Every structure is written in C-alpha cells, then in structure tokens.
Amino acid sequence: MKKVILSVIVLGLFGCQENKRANIDEEKFGGYWYQNSAEINVYELDQIRYGESRKGEAVMIFVTEDFSRKDQVKLDDPQSNPSDAQKVMKLNKTRSFQTGIYPYETMLSVFTPVYEDKNSPKVVASMTEWCGQSFTQMNWKNGGYRIQQFSYFQSEGDQEVKVNAPSEDELWNLLRLDPELIEEGETELFPGLIYQRFSHINLKKQKAIISKNSVNALTAEMVVDYADIGRKLSIRYQKEFPFEILSWEEEEIGRNGDTLVTKALRKKVRQLDYWNLNSTENNDLAKALSL
C-alpha cells in the first residue's frame, strides 16, 4: 500500500511535465530509492597512472535528493519552495590509490534529473595529490555547459569555457535510472572530468559512439568509444532494476602506443543512511564494507 501511495504522489507531481522522462517505473523506483538511504558500492580498483597500474579503491554512492533549479545546489527546504525543487539522482564517486610515495584522491559528483528529460544541471570533479589540487565545475545554463577549471599547472591555470554537449559523466546516473534512456550510435560528449584531469586534454566536446550489448542472461555492457582521443569506457550493469553497476574499464592509448586499462570490480554493496552513521561506534560498518 505504501508503494502505491508513493507512486500516486509522484505521478501527481510530475505527470504533467512536457519533458517527462520515459521508462521510469515510479512504483519500483520509489520503493528502492525513496527509503531514506543511499546505495554504497565499493570496488577493487586498478588505476593506470604514469603508465603503470596502481592498486586502489573506488566508491560510488548513489542517492536521490531535492536540488535547486535556480542555484543548482542541494535544496535545504523543498517543502517551502516546491517550484524550485528538482528531484535528482546524485552520484558521488571517489578513487584512492598510491603513486610511489604519495597518494591520489579524486572525487566526482553528478546531479541528474530523475523525472525531467534534461541534461545534468551540475557536474563537479576534484583531484588532490602532493603536487597540488585541481577542481572543475560544469553548470548547464542557456543550452550549454559553463565550465570553470582551476588548476595548479601554469599551462592550464584558471579558465572558463562553454560546451554545448552532454557530459559523459551523467551516463552513470542514466544507467541507474534506466539504460533505455541512453541512445546508441554516434554522438558528441564532453569526456569524463576525472579522465580530463588525468590526461590534460583540452576542455571541448568529442565525437563518440555509444553501444550496448548483452553479456549474459543477467548482465549487459555499455561502451563509449572515442576514436579521436583513443579512449574507450565500458560499464557492466545488471539488466533488471535497479540496474546496479558491477564493474567498469577505461582504455586509453599510452605515449608509446600501448593500450592501458584502468578497471574496477565491485566487491561490496549496501544501502545505508551514511549521513547518520558518523560516530566512532559506526567504524565497524566501514570494515564490513571493506573500507
């Protein structure tokens, strides 16, 4: 009964929108994602950096929240301003690995509308290591992304550009909403922000080919192939809702022409209200997740 009521509420709020997404099963979606918890996925990571593979860990946290259309930040009190509220799927994705003596920490945040067929309003990435920090923020406004990049490299410095193409990074969230939302074929995308930071390619859109293939009865794979920059992203996911992401690989061409592969394989998954679990008494939960 609870799921039926939730479905009616959702349909009432979003059923009249002109740009409503197709294929979202509100009853299933609400029953899984509107339970006051986040889905925490922990992956064993083999990260290519400086031409070598580094052992590490990746975490992907998926959760829904109310987002401000106007300010493009989390909405503190959506009940008092419902016209500004936009339900989004939020991905926070981290990578941690060691390069010799010093560590790397990266974080990607992507905010993708659940019910509205629109580009992700905001994508943010940061990278910290002993040489310095870099930070990139993309905001969708007036038919394109306003991209601000801040880097400790003199050749890059602080810069701002505009790009009128969707972000590769929102594909992770679209897979979780419904893989059918992702169209196959030739397209233009802005490559993933963490890849852009590692490779230092220019801030511009690239030609890509997206394909989806069946792996077995339970699993499918999406491939994003950028021939011009020598990059290929492959993501394996469950065919059935909630379309959990099981693994991924990133191929790139090294300086000597070799194919270098970063890969991640999931080892743990759990739904938790992690924002309420910040006491030392909760340390055992981190161990249970192999964190």
pLDDT at 207: 98
Q: What is the pLDDT of residues 50-84, one digit of tens each?
A: 999 999 999 999 999 999 999 999 999 999 999 99
- Tell me which of 11 and 221 has the higher pLDDT: 221
pLDDT at 258 over 50: yes
Continuous H helices in 48-114: none
Q: Spell out the domain ranges in the chain.
A: 2-271
Residues 6+ apart with CB under 8 A from 283: none
Separation in Å, CA 106 to CA 123, 167, 249: 14, 18, 17
Q: What is the mean pLDDT of residues 223-234?
A: 97
pLDDT at 3 over 50: no
* 106 band by pLDDT with thresholds 50, 70 and 90: very high
Q: What is the mean pLDDT of residues 215-229?
A: 97
Sequential DSSP letters for 34-67 = SSS-EEEEEEEEEEEETTEEEEEEEEEEEEEEEE
Which class for 42: exposed (0-12), middle (13-18), buried (19 or more C-beta within 10 A)?
Answer: buried
pLDDT at 196 over 70: yes
Cis peptide bond prior to 242, omega within 30° of 0: yes
Residues 6+ apart with CB under 8 A from 118: 19, 140
